[in-house]
Amino acid sequence: MEPDRREMEKLVAHGLVEIIGPIRQELLSGIKERSKYELVRERLRVFPDLPIVTSDYEDAAGFCNRCRAGGIQGSSTDFLICAVSVRLGLSIFTHDRDFIAYRKLLPIDLYQPSR
């Protein structure tokens, strides 16, 4: 089993995983095979979506503007993830290198596995 999967399973077992709807959508959007889509969809359903509030969208727009002014491009979904994580004090578990760039300008915390 790959280390990231083990780490995620550990976090799930300890009830330390949270998700928002846009992450759920991104995860499911990349699955071409219907049976795999259904399997992942069912497994993700045990995690309720955290609420996204108006200020998250506003903060996401501000984060986008700050990064763009600093020469860093990103997606609306990425900045929404950043905004929700900052509001709730959550670390972001990702391998998307864009978040490393965002961290230079935004007050986000990236999850560091204990290896």
Residue 113: per-residue pLDDT: 83
Please tell me the distance from the alpha carbon of residue 33 to that of residue 48, in angstroms, as a whole number.
Answer: 24
Residue 107: per-residue pLDDT: 98
- CATH number of the domain that residue 58 is part of: 3.40.50.1010
| Cβ burial 33-55 (10 Å sphere, 16+ → b, else e) | eeeeeeeeeeeeeeeeebebeee
Residue 71 is which amino acid?
Answer: G
Expressed as residue numbers, the domain containing 83 is 3-110
pLDDT in tens, the chain (115 residues): 588 888 989 999 999 999 999 999 999 998 999 999 999 999 999 999 999 999 999 999 999 999 999 999 999 999 999 999 999 999 999 989 999 999 999 999 999 987 5
Q: Is residue 115 part of a domain?
A: no
